[in-house]
Amino acid sequence: MSGFLAIARRELAGLFVGPLAWALLSIALLLQGWLFVLYLRTSGGDVDLSLRFALGESWAFWALLILVPPLLTMRMISEESRTGLLEFLLTAPVSDAAVVAGKFAAATLFLALLWATALVYALTTAGLGVPPDWGALLGGWLGAVACSALFVAVGLFASALTSTPIVAAFAAVILNLVFVTAPLLGGLSDQPAVRRAVARIDVIDHHKSAFLAGVLDSSYLIFFVAWTLFFLFLAVRAVEARRWR
């Protein structure tokens, strides 16, 4: 546990010491903020609807989710593998799982912080006399964090597969795109079995029809937890495989 915490702390500090995280955060917040104000104007000032857009109803949210986690995780394992730091880390008295989990926790926490800016928007409108539906906001934020966790796990898996960060980022973006677009493409099929199968990995639907609607449903929660654990398991295996080389 202490190994996991130490790695998570180190990764989080590493993120905020480097310029990449700040650059990503600035760009993401600028886009999110601009779109939030735009939604506010086009929805006739509807605060809840605008917050929903910021937390999953808009294309911008999914674009950020597809791109930001791979950019955050691309160096986490592959770069360390290239520089030899990973070998050093793997010889330390921490398990491979703790290494992967620590990095996962740091990246997920970073994204949770990014989505928490919706809370700042909400506090601003509340300060202006229009408080949002706090419960729905909490649900939306939890869903955004759950989606982020899944995509961070995908990113770590990709990062563990290669020693070139840019290749890791590219692979993770492709995997994320598959997750996001497969249900859309599957919906075009006239085979019910195909549609049912792809509906099982429909991340957008799982986020929108539960969390974003303000519902905490164990089934939807387990969906994200299970798939996140699956990719983390693959990432651990991939890290482990480096020992054989």
Positions touching another protein (CB under 8 A) are: 16-19, 22-23, 25-27, 29-30, 32-34, 36-37, 40-49, 117, 120-121, 124-125, 128, 130-136, 138-139, 187-190, 192, 195, 200, 209, 213-219, 222-223, 226-227, 229-230, 233-234, 237, 241, 243-244
- Shortest CA distance to 181 belongs to which of 66, 22, 32? 66
Which residues 6+ apart lie within 8 Å of 26 measured at CB? none
44, 49, 93, 150 from 214: Cα distances, Å: 21, 12, 42, 20
Contact 103, 156 (CB under 8 A): yes
Contact 42, 128 (CB under 8 A): no
Task: Look up residue 190 and give its DSSP letter.
Answer: S
Map tokens 């974003």 to a residue.
212
Which CB sits closer to another protein, 117 or 181? 117
Q: How far is the CB of 34 from another protein (least distance, A)?
A: 5
Which CB sits closer to another protein, 88 or 134? 134
Which CB sits closer to another protein, 13 or 85? 13
Which CB sits closer to another protein, 169 or 204? 204
Q: How far is the CB of 63 from another protein (least distance, A)?
A: 17
Which CB sits closer to another protein, 44 or 84? 44
Which CB sits closer to another protein, 93 or 243? 243
Q: How far is the CB of 41 from another protein (least distance, A)?
A: 7
Contact 76, 158 (CB under 8 A): no
Which CB sits closer to another protein, 63 or 215? 215
- Measured between alpha carbons, how far is 172 from 73 in angstroms, rounded to an integer? 9
Q: How far is the CB of 90 from another protein (least distance, A)?
A: 10
- Measured between alpha carbons, how far is 8 from 12 in angstroms, rounded to an integer? 6
Q: How far is the CB of 45 from another protein (least distance, A)?
A: 4
Return the sign of the alpha-carbon dihedral for residues 87, 90, 93, 94.
positive
Q: How far is the CB of 204 from another protein (least distance, A)?
A: 12
Count of CB atoms situated within 10 Å of the CB of 19: 7
Count of CB atoms situated within 10 Å of the CB of 205: 13
Q: How far is the CB of 219 from another protein (least distance, A)?
A: 5
17, 126, 243, 244 from 87: Cα distances, Å: 23, 50, 9, 12
